[in-house]
């Protein structure tokens, strides 16, 4: 995918196209004259120079893979090219038939071997498609060029046949009026596409020529249409899959008579997810890649966000990498509940795009805080003991929100291999939980039920009676009760 080499291949392909398109024109049409011969020869030999530089400089320096290793040794690269089929074809393409010019004149057909450098054209196609983000556009252009080139060749053959029969000699041949190339190209289009409306051939030569044109036209045109269908089908394969999934879901919802409001939200989710990500589930794409490549992509996409989470700072770097591969991307619609107050928390959320609002207050509708892209919430739930701690507030998507989710189960599977990070995380989690519970311990939540209720205070009237009994000498039932209460207090202390 080296851009410099792709640009050089583009120059080689331009030289190759010069030969492929103009050799038939110069052979059939009377466009090459003694007055402009020097121009044609100059362009011919400039193209030959490009061919020669490609052989001597570029092809002998191409790296290749041997036994799984990338070979960069100059001598080995040169020997690999000299042994390849590519070198043989490149050598044939520079076959010096031009020396026959001195005997038969400047005949463009003697340059026909220059068209044998077709391997450069196909290599350019492969490398260009590898660096294009929308390669299907180039494929459509290339397939169209194939069709135009076949019409170009047919127009050249028609003019040659007309010149062979004699221009204007019959109603079938070209009459010599107007622009010869445009008129012949028009005839070629009508013949190959079998539009009809052409004059009938008169001679045996014209009949055979016309029959071959019809057969070739039907075959070539059907091949071009098939190629175009495949290119367009490949370009719209993702869109077709998206429509198929949506149609199946709508059919399912209609079968079970799901309310229209729910159906509209499902449709909105499909549309937003497709347009924002270009796919419904990105894991379907990544699962095809090797584990190392999936990790590289996960690091580029998620590492900057996860590395800023206070809970994971100081942990093993490889543990963070393993965790990145477990993140799931989820899209929430406006006003969707990400999590609700009182439910068990088993996930941590990272906001990739969009905003979420934390709701609270007596009725649970007051906006306490708005979290934006890059914010993290629910991280304490990952390490809370006892099956997960309960959510303390409602979190609602404010507009469309793309979130990354890390499950508690996935994190526990990772921490088994990183005991030091596990100790650090549990220590941090306990500290964060203690800080969150401290205000409640100081103030006390109203209405909280106690397991052992406090003892009720002694009524003031009864306390006065006990005090009077003590002043009267300490005898009688009240005095005995007073003495008994003092004993009970001493035992409690």
pTM above 0.75, yes or no: no
Task: Provide the pLDDT for residue 493.
Answer: 45
Q: Is the pLDDT of residue 438 over 60?
A: no
Task: Provide the pLDDT for residue 452.
Answer: 35
Range of lowest pLDDT (71-85, 329-343, 361-375, 479-493): 479-493
What integer is the mean pLDDT of 46-54?
A: 96
What integer is the mean pLDDT of 7-28?
A: 96
* Local confidence band at 109 (pLDDT 50, 70, 90 cut-offs): very high
Other residues' Cβ atoms within 10 Å of the Cβ of residue 261: 7
Q: Is the pLDDT of residue 401 over 60?
A: yes
Q: What is 370-402 written as a DSSP string?
A: EE-TT-EE-GGGGT-SSS-PBP-SEEEEEEEEE
CB of 43 closer than 8 Å to CB of 108: no
Interatomic CA distance for residues 274 and 239, integer angstroms:
9
CB of 135 closer than 8 Å to CB of 145: no
Task: Provide the pLDDT for residue 446.
Answer: 42
What integer is the mean pLDDT of 357-378?
A: 86
CB of 114 closer than 8 Å to CB of 51: yes
The residue written with tokens 């191409």 in the block is 62
Helices (H), 62-177: 74-82, 85-93, 101-104, 118-131, 135-165
CB of 63 closer than 8 Å to CB of 76: no
Tell me the pLDDT of the chain averaged across its residues: 83
What token pair was written down for 345?
């928390």
CB of 97 closer than 8 Å to CB of 110: yes
What integer is the mean pLDDT of 274-280?
A: 74
Interatomic CA distance for residues 380 and 431, integer angstroms:
10
**DSSP class of 66:** E
Interatomic CA distance for residues 158 and 163, integer angstroms:
9
Q: What is 76-96 written as a DSSP string?
A: HHHHHHHTSHHHHHHHHHT--
Residues of the chain with pLDDT > 70, as a percent, come to 84
Strand partners, 396: 337, 357
What integer is the mean pLDDT of 261-280?
A: 83
* Local confidence band at 445 (pLDDT 50, 70, 90 cut-offs): very low
Interatomic CA distance for residues 172 and 321, integer angstroms:
74
CA dihedral 431→434→439→445, nearest 10 degrees, is: 160
Go through the chain and tell me how many residues it has. 493
Q: How far is CA 251 from the centre of its chain?
A: 28
Q: Is the pLDDT of residue 283 over 90?
A: no
Q: Is the pLDDT of residue 216 over 80?
A: yes
Residue 35's H or E segment, with its range, is none
What token pair was written down for 415?
């921490």
Range of lowest pLDDT (1-10, 87-96, 217-226): 217-226
Range of lowest pLDDT (141-155, 198-212, 385-399): 385-399
CB of 70 closer than 8 Å to CB of 34: no
Q: Is the pLDDT of residue 396 over 90?
A: yes
Task: Provide the pLDDT for residue 239.
Answer: 81
Sign of CA dihedral 199, 202, 207, 213: negative
């Amino acid at each position: 995918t080296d851009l410099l080499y792709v640009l050089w291949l583009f120059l080689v392909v331009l030289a190759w196209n010069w030969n492929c398109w103009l050799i038939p024109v110069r052979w059939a049409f009377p466009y090459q004259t003694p007055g402009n011969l020097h121009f044609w020869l100059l362009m011919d030999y400039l193209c030959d120079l490009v061919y020669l530089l490609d052989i001597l400089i570029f092809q002998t320096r191409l790296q290749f893979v041997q036994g799984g290793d990338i070979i960069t040794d100059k001598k080995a690269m040169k020997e690999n090219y000299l042994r390849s089929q590519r070198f043989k074809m490149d050598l044939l393409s520079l076959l010096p038939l031009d020396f026959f010019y001195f005997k038969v004149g400047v005949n463009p057909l003697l340059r026909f071997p220059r068209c044998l450098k077709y391997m450069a054209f196909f290599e350019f196609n492969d490398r260009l498609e590898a660096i294009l983000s929308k390669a299907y556009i180039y494929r459509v252009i290339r397939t169209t060029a194939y069709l135009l080139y076949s019409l170009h060749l047919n127009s050249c053959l028609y003019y040659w046949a007309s010149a062979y029969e004699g221009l204007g000699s019959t109603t079938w041949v070209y009459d010599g009026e107007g622009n010869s190339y445009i008129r012949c190209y028009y005839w070629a289009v009508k013949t190959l596409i079998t539009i009809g409306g052409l004059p009938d051939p008169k001679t045996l030569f014209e009949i055979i020529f016309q029959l071959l044109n019809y057969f070739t036209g039907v075959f070539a045109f059907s091949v071009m249409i098939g190629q175009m269908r495949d290119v367009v089908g490949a370009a719209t394969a993702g869109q077709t899959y998206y429509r198929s999934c949506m149609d199946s879901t709508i059919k399912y919802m209609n079968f079970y008579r799901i309310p229209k409001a729910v159906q509209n939200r499902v449709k909105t989710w499909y549309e937003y997810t497709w347009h924002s990500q270009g796919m419904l589930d990105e894991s379907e794409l990544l699962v095809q890649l090797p584990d190392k490549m999936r990790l590289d992509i996960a690091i580029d996409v998620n590492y900057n966000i996860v590395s800023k989470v206070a809970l994971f700072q100081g942990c093993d770097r490889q543990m963070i990498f393993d965790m990145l591969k477990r993140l799931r991307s989820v899209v929430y619609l406006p006003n969707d509940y990400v999590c609700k107050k009182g439910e068990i928390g088993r996930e941590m959320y990272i906001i990739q795009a969009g905003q979420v609002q934390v709701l609270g207050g007596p009725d649970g509708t007051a906006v306490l805080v708005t979290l934006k892209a890059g914010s993290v919430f629910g991280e304490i739930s990952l390490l809370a003991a006892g099956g997960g701690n309960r959510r303390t507030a409602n979190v609602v998507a404010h507009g469309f929100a793309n979130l990354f989710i890390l499950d508690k189960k996935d994190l526990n599977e990772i921490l088994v291999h990183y005991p030091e990070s596990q100790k650090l995380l549990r220590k941090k989690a306990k500290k964060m939980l203690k800080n969150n519970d401290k205000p409640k311990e100081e103030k006390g939540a109203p209405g909280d039920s106690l397991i052992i209720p406090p003892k009720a205070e002694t009524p003031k009237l009864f306390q006065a009676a006990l005090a009077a009994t003590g002043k009267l000498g300490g005898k009688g039932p009240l005095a005995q009760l007073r003495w008994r209460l003092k004993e009970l207090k001493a035992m409690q202390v």
